[in-house]
């Protein structure tokens, strides 16, 4: 009897499951019919297919407009002008081949996919080359905030690319490919493409690689978004030739090729987002609930990872930076350096306005300081002929030091001039360009036997930078005066020797040979 009841219960459960499944299928079918009736059938697929093919063609106009857009974009980036960059966005014709590649993926047209890929490649090459050429000719080759902001893919950039793909695909499918198309694609692609050219021209491989990764990430996102949109709007393989097994394999391979770089970028983006969350949590643990972390900036390229934050707190917390650095280093598995600017505010809400004002000032100062540091590092690396990673920056002492590579024909005076050039644009900073040990200048004497001040200043500067002993040669009285002048300039000759003539010469000695 019990077995019969159990069997009946199982049958009733199976029947209920079947009914629920049929209900879900009915709802799905209803939604699908509604979608096809209100969206899919409103699209003339044949006309859209023809239009997209025309927009994605390779011709002189496409190359010219891409080059002009890249040229305007790189000029706007160099002078850090968002308005000029926006102007470049309106000219970019890259949407055509990108939408074409997405549609080709959706309908399985391998031949068209190759054509759109070729068109896109030529456009990318033209954009990078014109950007690199303009950067090479430009007297300003400093990394500006507009350039720095396009050297790392972030969640915001990914969202921009996603919405660009949605807007662009919709506009092309529905036949509304006006200004919105240029704005959508240029926002996500043209500025980082121009930064790729900038990095190539200035041999700034950090900017080159970061911008290229951002460009590829956005490109892949837009192409795949377009393919999904096309499928949703009913584009199928009946618009292309009959598919073969080879075509199917090609489509799968294309999706994999597109997805691989995107997956790498997504992994990095997710990691950075997770680190950002952990940084905020670690800072919150170091202060009580009345405190507020107002501004957090993370430099993932620095070694160790550098975190700067502004904290509004009723009570200052000693060693908060040290504790947060240790906690974050253990959490993320690599060294982290935390630096906080703590601003004392009242515990009650009456000081809210003062707190906001202090936070705004702190944020402005922090942004200005970081921007100045980036500019100093970029200019020092450029004049020294080294990469930015070889520039040593002491933020606390406001000092930047770099060892210059030898330049054929350059004298110590030339290196000193280069250092002064950087120092003029780095007010408040101690700039030190360490030159190679080039020959020291001769020191002429005037009628009274006094040494030339220009030569003394140059020798004193060179010894302070190179930190090697100096030998003076000349008449005894004259060498004594030169030694005294060098001491007054902040350095001294390590040894002196008597030599005939009416001038004093100076030369480097081997380290450790001073008396």
pTM: 0.53
| Tokens of residue 225, six digits | 């978004």
The whole-angstrom separation of Cα 165 and Cα 98 is 9
Any domain includes 430:
yes
Are residues 98 and 207 both part of a single domain?
yes
Any domain includes 14:
no
Instruction: Please report, for residues 60, 158, 244, 402, 415, the alpha-carbon distance to residue 405 in angstroms, rounded to integers and kept in the order given.
Output: 43, 39, 59, 10, 10
CATH number at residue 146: 1.20.1080
Burial 299-310 (b: 16+ CB within 10 A, else e): eeeeeebbbbbb
| Tokens of residue 502, six digits | 């009416």
Q: How many CA atoms lie within 13 A of 423 on its CB side?
A: 13
Instruction: Please report the pLDDT score of residue 513 as a whole number.
Output: 58
3-state secondary structure of 431: strand
Are residues 56 and 115 both part of a single domain?
yes
- Please name every residue paired with 401 in a beta bridge, in sequence order, or none if there are none: 392, 432
Minimum mean pLDDT range among 93-97, 320-324, 349-353: 349-353
Are residues 67 and 179 both part of a single domain?
yes
Question: How many domains would you assign to the chain?
Answer: 4
Instruction: Please report the pLDDT score of residue 112 as a whole number.
Output: 84
Q: Are 160 and 39 in contact (CB under 8 A)?
A: no
Pick from 135, 147, 123: nearest CA to 201: 135
Instruction: Please report, for residues 77, 113, 206, 217, 221, the alpha-carbon distance to residue 260 in angstroms, rounded to integers and kept in the order given.
Output: 29, 18, 21, 10, 11
Q: How confident is the model at residue 128 (pLDDT cuts 50, 70, 90)?
A: very high
Are residues 398 and 479 both part of a single domain?
no
Any domain includes 423:
yes
Are residues 67 and 196 both part of a single domain?
yes
The boundaries of the domain holding residue 481 are: 453-508
Are residues 337 and 416 both part of a single domain?
no
Minimum mean pLDDT range among 208-212, 344-348, 410-414: 344-348
The whole-angstrom separation of Cα 221 and Cα 164 is 9
The whole-angstrom separation of Cα 252 and Cα 91 is 33
Any domain includes 232:
yes
CATH number at residue 382: 3.30.300
Any domain includes 25:
no
pLDDT in tens, 381-419: 888 888 888 888 887 788 899 998 887 778 888 888 888
Domain boundary among 363, 394, 418: 363
Are residues 288 and 353 both part of a single domain?
yes
The whole-angstrom separation of Cα 53 and Cα 356 is 54
Any domain includes 188:
yes
């Amino acid at each position: 009897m019990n077995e019969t009841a159990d069997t009946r219960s199982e049958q009733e459960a199976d029947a209920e499951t079947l009914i629920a499944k049929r209900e879900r299928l009915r709802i799905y079918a209803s939604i699908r019919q509604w979608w096809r009736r209100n969206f899919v059938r409103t699209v003339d697929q044949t006309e859209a297919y023809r239009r997209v093919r025309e927009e994605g063609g390779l011709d002189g106009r496409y190359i010219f407009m891409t080059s002009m857009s890249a040229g305007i974009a790189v000029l706007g980036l160099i002078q850090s002008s968002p308005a000029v960059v926006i102007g470049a966005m309106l000219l970019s014709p890259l949407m055509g081949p990108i939408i074409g590649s997405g549609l080709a993926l959706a309908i399985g047209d391998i031949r068209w996919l190759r054509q759109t890929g070729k068109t896109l490649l030529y456009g990318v090459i033209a954009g990078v080359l014109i950007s690199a050429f303009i950067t090479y000719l430009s007297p300003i080759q400093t990394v500006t905030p507009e350039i720095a902001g396009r050297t790392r893919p972030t969640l915001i950039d990914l969202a921009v690319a996603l919405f660009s793909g949605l807007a662009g695909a919709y506009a092309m499918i529905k036949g509304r490919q006006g200004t919105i198309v240029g704005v959508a694609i240029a926002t996500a692609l043209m500025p980082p493409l121009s930064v790729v050219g900038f990095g190539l021209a200035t041999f700034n491989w950090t900017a080159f690689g970061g911008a290229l990764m951002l460009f590829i990430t956005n490109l892949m996102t837009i192409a795949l978004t377009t393919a999904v949109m096309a499928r949703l709007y009913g584009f199928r393989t009946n618009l292309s030739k009959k598919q073969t097994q080879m075509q199917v394999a090609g489509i799968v391979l294309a999706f994999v090729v597109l997805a691989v770089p995107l997956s790498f970028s997504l992994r990095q983006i997710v990691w950075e987002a997770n680190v950002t969350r952990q940084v905020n949590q670690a800072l919150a643990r170091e202060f009580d609930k009345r405190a507020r972390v107002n501004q957090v900036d993370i430099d993932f390229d620095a070694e160790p990872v550098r975190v700067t934050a502004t904290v509004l707190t009723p009570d200052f917390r000693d060693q908060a930076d040290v504790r947060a650095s240790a906690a974050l280093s253990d959490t993320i598995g690599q060294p982290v350096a935390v630096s906080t600017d703590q601003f004392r505010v009242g515990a009650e809400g009456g000081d809210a306005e003062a707190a906001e004002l202090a936070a705004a000032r702190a944020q402005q100062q922090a942004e200005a300081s970081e921007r100045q540091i980036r500019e100093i590092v970029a200019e020092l690396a450029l004049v020294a002929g080294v990469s930015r990673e070889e520039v040593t920056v002491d933020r606390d002492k406001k000092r930047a030091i770099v060892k210059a590579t030898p330049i054929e024909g350059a004298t110590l005076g030339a290196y000193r001039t280069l250092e002064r050039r950087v120092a003029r644009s780095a007010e408040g900073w101690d700039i030190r360009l360490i030159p190679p040990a080039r020959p020291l200048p001769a020191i002429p004497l005037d009628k009274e036997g006094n040494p030339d001040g220009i030569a003394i200043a140059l020798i004193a500067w060179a010894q302070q930078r190179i930190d090697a002993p100096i030998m003076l040669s000349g008449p005894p009285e004259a060498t004594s005066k030169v030694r005294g002048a060098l001491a007054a300039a902040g350095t001294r000759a390590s040894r002196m020797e008597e030599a005939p003539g009416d001038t004093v010469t100076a030369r480097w000695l081997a380290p450790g040979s001073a008396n």
